[in-house]
Structure 1
Amino acid sequence: MDDAGLFDTLDLTEYEATALAALLRLGRTTAPDLAEATGIPKARIYDVLGSLSDVGYLKVIPGRPKEYQPHDPETVLERARENKRQELETFERELDEARDSFLATFESAFEEQGDVRPAEELFHVVDVGDPSESETRRLYHEADRAAYVLTKSFEYLDAVSPSLAAALDRGVAVRALFYHPDLLDEGERRVQESVTERLREEFPAVEFRFSTGELPWRGTFVDPSTTYDDGEAIFLVEEPEVPDHMRQAALTANGSFVAGFKRYFELVWDHESVATS
């Protein structure tokens, strides 16, 4: 990974990331020397260093010329955390200030529409990838009782593992149905083997089995209810000829659909799956 990639989570521009990486390696230096070392245009270097100073990642040492001293890496990360905390506090304060006006403007008009929606609006879609993984994390965060996963190899475990761990800590029961390895190609089998080993070691509370037949859909659903008034799901139907990055996942909060998903899951779990691969 290049230097810029290491700073993605700090929301730095390419020049800012390059400058900070060089400062952390070189230590205290001047703007012209840093521009020379990094290739950042001299016309931009002062603005770049000013931005890094504003967010607390370096100190400006007065003099002729000025010098720039980076904070140590641990302090940089702590400053980044504090900056995000303050951003969140500001956002929440602005949201609270706008709340009464927003509700007064839109709430009554929205309620006048009634609760009935056409069938096609029971679902909405997001792209497969970061958007679908974000929605999956949300489901884990909001789950109260149970979460169910149907998957080939759970290859996105890294992306959802903190949310999964938090759900387990809250006492949410989690079950996963994998494709049997015989139904996967060699690459998928290797991924599945690694993931299931990780589940055994890091998430022993997760129950999982292996479906002996192909599944018509994959996804995650949470908190199904026998009264059909609760639960959410994100899923995609199997379309082997379409790459995942070109696909969309459907989301629904319709309790009847989610209850149906659970019924299907239980039938496969009880009658068409095995405990070991």
Structure 2
Amino acid sequence: MPGDEIISELRSLGLHLNEAKAYKALVTLGQSTARAVADHSGVPRSKVYDVLYSLEDRGLVRRVLGSDPTEFKSYPPKDAIPYLIEKLQQSGSVVMKALETIEQERNTESRELVYTVEGQDQIKMEMRGIIGEAQKEVFIATLNPAVLSAARPALAEAKRRNVNIQLFTAGANMEEWKEFTHYLEMTNVEGIGPTGLIEQMSTVIEDVAIVDAGWNPTQMGIVIADNSESIGMFGTHSAQMKPWALVVRVPLIAILQRQVITAVLSQVQRFIAAMEATS
């Protein structure tokens, strides 16, 4: 991994820029003086002692007793990085509880019932949230396991809550889905690919403009929780178009969405049965 990426990842774990540079320098150099750390890392000499003392307070480096001038030594990454992650999780937990309290006390705004989000990170957050709120059942329909890749922790947690998780797909390569099979019950409609599936969708849904407008059916999916809320995800063929999702928190609409998907699957199964009967 390039040095700039290491610095960036260290910053994502809560270190300031100069702290990340200094810690990486100490790991690279081994036991070193503050001047050597400054020269190697680019941290200004006027600030390097403050930065190293800050890293010491964080438990990532230590001063070497008896050294003159003072030398510093980093704790091994195998110990330091898990410690950073643990501290970050603790801080996140405290902040989450505080914000949840504020949210519960806020009664002036109603919850949005239907809205869209754009971009992979926002879609992942919404999908994990919907799965995380499920109490009884999660219904999933998608052709692509990558659509669910970010939801594995939420699926595992839902499974521990005894939530019934059902996945419907078509023409699946079971090897690609094996990492999900212990979280959910999978129904795979064999004998039809994405193109055939879209053709059968058109017999159930007359307006399939989302397909004609450049949306990629292999990057689409829907997650419905407890027949009360859902997220429909739409990927694209174009790098210039961001994926987006429609979030619905209206039980009636979520039920209708599931009925449409069930109707499509039934149509597909009838189509396959008819093809087999004539072959």
**TM-score in terms of structure 2 length:** 0.70
Encode CA deviations 1:146-169: one digit per residue, 9 max, x unaligned.
212222312144322111122122
Secondary structure of 1:18's aligned partner: helix
Structure 1 residues 244 and 222: CA distance shift in structure 2, 3 A: farther
Give, as a single letter, the amino acid of the residue that structure 2 aligns with 1:196.
W
Q: Distance in 1 between matches of 2:177 and 2:240?
A: 22
Correspondence list, 1:68-107, <5 A: 68-88=72-92, 90-91=94-95, 103=105, 107=107
Correspondence list, 1:84-163, <5 A: 84-88=88-92, 90-91=94-95, 103=105, 107=107, 109=108, 122-163=113-154
Q: After TM superposition, give the deviation of residue 92 of structure 1 in Å.
A: 6.3
Unmatched tracts of structure 2, length 5 or more? 202-207, 209-219, 273-279
Residue equivalent to 2:186: 207
Q: Distance in 2 between matches of 1:254 and 1:178?
A: 24
1:166 aligns with 2:157: yes
Q: Distance in 1 between matches of 2:68 and 2:61?
A: 18
Q: After TM superposition, give the deviation of residue 213 of structure 1 in Å.
A: 0.9
Q: Distance in 2 between matches of 1:208 and 1:135?
A: 24
Q: Distance in 2 between matches of 1:14 and 1:194?
A: 42
What is the identity percentage for the equivalent residue pairs of Structure 1 and Structure 2?
A: 21
Q: Distance in 2 between matches of 1:134 and 1:15?
A: 30
Q: After TM superposition, give the deviation of residue 132 of structure 1 in Å.
A: 0.7
Secondary structure of 2:146's aligned partner: coil
**TM-score in terms of structure 1 length:** 0.71
Q: Distance in 1 between matches of 2:54 and 2:12?
A: 16
Encode CA deviations 1:192-224: one digit per residue, 9 max, x unaligned.
665324334xx3643132464126663211111
Give, as a single letter, the amino acid of the residue that structure 2 aligns with 1:198.
E
Encode CA deviations 1:74-93: one digit per residue, 9 max, x unaligned.
43134324423542465367
Asked if structure 2 preserves the Cα contact closer than 8 Å seen for 1:55 and 1:83, the reply is no
Q: After TM superposition, give the deviation of residue 242 of structure 1 in Å.
A: 5.2
Number of residue pairs the alignment of both structures matches = 242
Asked if structure 2 preserves the Cα contact closer than 8 Å seen for 1:209 and 1:269, the reply is no
1:272 aligns with 2:263: no
Structure 1 residues 95 and 14: CA distance shift in structure 2, 3 A: closer
Q: Distance in 1 between matches of 2:57 and 2:86?
A: 13
Q: After TM superposition, give the deviation of residue 237 of structure 1 in Å.
A: 5.0
Residue equivalent to 2:167: 176
Encode CA deviations 1:82-124: one digit per residue, 9 max, x unaligned.
423542465367559x759x94xx53x55xxxx8x9xxx6311
Structure 1 residues 77 and 237: CA distance shift in structure 2, 3 A: closer
Secondary structure of 1:213's aligned partner: helix
Asked if structure 1 preserves the Cα contact closer than 8 Å seen for 2:21 and 2:42, the reply is no
Q: After TM superposition, give the deviation of residue 136 of structure 1 in Å.
A: 0.8
1:65 aligns with 2:69: yes
Residue equivalent to 2:58: 55
Structure 1 residues 26 and 95: CA distance shift in structure 2, 3 A: same
Runs of 4+ in 1 over 6 A off after TM superposition: none
Q: Distance in 1 between matches of 2:97 and 2:256?
A: 41
Secondary structure of 1:268's aligned partner: helix
Give, as a single letter, the amino acid of the residue that structure 2 aligns with 1:218.
G
Q: CA RMSD in A?
A: 3.4
Q: Distance in 2 between matches of 1:143 and 1:166?
A: 10
Corresponding residue to 2:49 among 36, 46, 49: 46
Secondary structure of 2:73's aligned partner: strand
